[in-house]
């Protein structure tokens, strides 16, 4: 297994003596692994079989689920839950032996579409199955597939999001797949944000199989489980990712949870660093330094330090900018603005949606200079702002939500993890 790659860059190396804000880009490439070395997987599939899933959708979802189940090995665990207004734990969590897989396939084949949707109940039962399995060290994942809203049982998206966060803290990660035009992208996207997994938008039923294959495949390729980024001293600067990664303070560090990373996954995390103003009695410092540590469930992997020199205002104003960092930061802010604007548009707040995008575009123009990438991005945001001034179609809202979601988590246009090319050199051997 080749090691992790970890680089940290800042947009500008000089800061003012008074408080100042800088941006940092952390580039991470997860270690390369092989199928033989992978940790076991503790998987639950949660499939919506409400009436609206009838026809192609349920048929293709079942086929994809069967294909996924067949990829597991006896050291993995598997559970399958179907729900409408009733929840059927058709395969309670068990090691994926030949018998379990055979029983699971038969159970999945028998399911028909009918009824309304207790999305939260079905998902929670699956979390219970994954949680009940004694599988420490495994990649625990619940994958929920639905084409609809939560309309029975717990239906409040904020409440469901809180449950996802609580369950993630207890070791159960949730990924969500929305199919068609009628699901709530903010509910499913929020569950994945809070649940530490991934959200996928599936426009057509024939895309169900490749997406389930992507998500299940990724659980089988994790090489850095529960990855985290630890930045400190926290007392020197407030550090926050420009994406919905869970961030907490631990002692004098900020800890940002990045979730499970798969073999060669290439992740860019843009961070905002706000230095605290020095107190009156503090001796003047020549520089401020932050340490960035990358780690995972197996401990620390790599470390990098960034130093900012304190300089007079004139020198700070005149310093060159690192455009690679500027671009990543601008893209991160654009993704957040687009997601928020989509929510506002969905709720009929057209003017607020337009303003949200216009403001972010103007801010990017403010530091774009003659950089064509940044000027292009600012222009696209202005176009988006115009589009959001009236009601977007349900499909358009979902496609836009998914695009911004994939961008903020460094994922490919169809939602799969972005991978770095394999390294040709064989260092360390």
Partner 1 sequence: MDRDRAYDLQELCTEAGVTPRTVRYYIQQGLLPAPEPQGPATRYGQGHLDRLRLIRDLQAEHQPLAVIRQRLEELPDKDIRRLVRKLPRSSPSSAVDYVRSVLGAPQLMATESTALYATRPAATPVRAQWERLSIAPDVELHIRRPLTREINRRVEKLLALARQIFEEDRE
Give me Rg for the CA atoms of the chain: 23
What are the C-alpha distances in Å from 243 to residues 53, 293, 332, 337, 340?
Answer: 32, 19, 7, 11, 12
* Residue 231 · residue 299 · CB < 8 Å: no
Nearest approach, Cβ of residue 116 and partner 1 (Å): 8
* Residue 228 · residue 257 · CB < 8 Å: yes
Give whichever of 250 and 383 is closer to partner 1, judged by the CB atom: 250
Give whichever of 153 and 415 is closer to partner 1, judged by the CB atom: 153
Which chain residues interact with partner 1 by CB under 8 A? 85-92, 99, 103, 106-107, 118, 121, 124-125, 127-128, 130-132, 149-159, 163, 166-167, 169-172, 184, 187, 230, 232-233, 235, 250-253, 291, 293, 299
**Pick from 250, 256, 219: nearest CA to 235:** 250
Question: Which residues does 216 contact at the CB level (< 8 Å), separation at least 6?
Answer: 43, 68, 71, 143
Nearest approach, Cβ of residue 260 and partner 1 (Å): 16
Give whichever of 92 and 217 is closer to partner 1, judged by the CB atom: 92
Nearest approach, Cβ of residue 169 and partner 1 (Å): 5
Nearest approach, Cβ of residue 151 and partner 1 (Å): 5
* Residue 46 · residue 128 · CB < 8 Å: no
* Residue 306 · residue 8 · CB < 8 Å: yes
Nearest approach, Cβ of residue 252 and partner 1 (Å): 4
Give whichever of 86 and 246 is closer to partner 1, judged by the CB atom: 86
Give the separation between CA 133 and CA 94, rounded to whole angstroms. 8
Give whichever of 217 and 233 is closer to partner 1, judged by the CB atom: 233
Give whichever of 264 and 288 is closer to partner 1, judged by the CB atom: 288
* Residue 336 · residue 379 · CB < 8 Å: no
Nearest approach, Cβ of residue 419 and partner 1 (Å): 29
Give the separation between CA 8 and CA 28, rounded to whole angstroms. 9
Residue found by looking up tokens 């790659």 in the block: 5
Q: Work out the end-to-end distance of the chain between its first and last CA atoms, rounded to an integer number of angstroms.
A: 11
Q: What is the 3-state secondary structure (H, E, C) of 347-397?
A: CCCHHHHHHHHHHHHHHHHHHHCCCHHHHHHHHHHHHHHHHCCCCCCHHHH
Give whichever of 287 and 305 is closer to partner 1, judged by the CB atom: 305
Give the separation between CA 14 and CA 318, rounded to whole angstroms. 10
Check residue 53 and report its DSSP letter: G
Give whichever of 171 and 217 is closer to partner 1, judged by the CB atom: 171
Q: Sheet holding 237-241: strands in order across? A: 5-10, 21-29, 266-275, 237-241
Give whichever of 128 and 384 is closer to partner 1, judged by the CB atom: 128
């Amino acid at each position: 297994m080749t090691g992790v790659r970890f680089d940290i860059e800042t947009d500008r190396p000089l800061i003012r003596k008074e408080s100042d804000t800088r941006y940092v880009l952390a580039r991470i490439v997860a270690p390369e692994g092989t199928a033989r070395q992978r940790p076991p997987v503790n998987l639950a599939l949660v499939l919506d079989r409400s009436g609206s899933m009838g026809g192609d959708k349920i048929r293709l979802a079942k086929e994809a689920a069967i294909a996924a189940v067949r990829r597991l090995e006896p050291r993995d665990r598997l559970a399958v839950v179907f729900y409408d207004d009733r929840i059927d734990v058709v395969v309670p969590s068990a090691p994926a032996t030949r018998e379990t897989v055979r029983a699971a396939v038969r159970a999945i084949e028998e399911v028909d579409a009918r009824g309304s949707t207790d999305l939260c109940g079905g998902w929670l039962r699956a979390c219970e199955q994954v949680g009940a399995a004694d599988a420490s060290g495994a990649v625990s994942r619940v994958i929920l597939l639905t084409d609809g809203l939560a309309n029975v049982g717990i239906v409040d998206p904020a409440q469901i999001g809180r449950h996802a966060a609580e369950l993630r803290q207890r070791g159960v990660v949730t990924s969500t797949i929305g199919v068609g035009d009628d699901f709530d992208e903010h509910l499913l996207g929020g569950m994945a944000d809070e649940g530490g997994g991934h959200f996928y938008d599936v426009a057509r039923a024939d895309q169900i199989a490749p997406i389930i294959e992507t998500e299940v495949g990724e659980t089988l390729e994790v090489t850095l489980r529960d990855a985290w980024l630890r930045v400190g001293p926290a007392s020197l600067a407030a550090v926050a990712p420009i994406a919905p990664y869970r961030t907490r303070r631990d002692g004098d560090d900020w800890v940002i949870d990045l979730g499970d990373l798969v073999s060669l996954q290439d992740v860019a995390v843009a961070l905002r660093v706000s230095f605290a103003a020095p107190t009156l009695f503090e001796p003047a410092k020549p520089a401020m330094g932050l340490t960035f540590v990358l780690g995972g469930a197996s401990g620390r992997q790599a470390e990098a330090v960034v130093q900012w020199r304190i300089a007079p205002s004139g020198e700070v104003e005149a310093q060159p900018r690192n455009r690679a960092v500027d671009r990543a930061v601008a893209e991160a802010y654009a993704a957040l603005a687009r997601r928020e604007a989509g929510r506002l548009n969905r709720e009929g707040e057209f003017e607020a949606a337009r303003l949200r995008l216009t403001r972010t575009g103007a801010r990017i123009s403010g530091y774009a200079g003659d950089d064509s990438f940044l000027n292009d991005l600012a222009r696209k945001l202005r176009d988006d702002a115009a589009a959001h001034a009236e009601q977007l179609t349900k499909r358009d809202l979902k496609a836009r939500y998914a695009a911004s979601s994939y961008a903020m988590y460094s994922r490919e246009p169809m939602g799969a993890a972005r991978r770095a090319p394999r390294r040709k050199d064989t260092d360390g051997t």
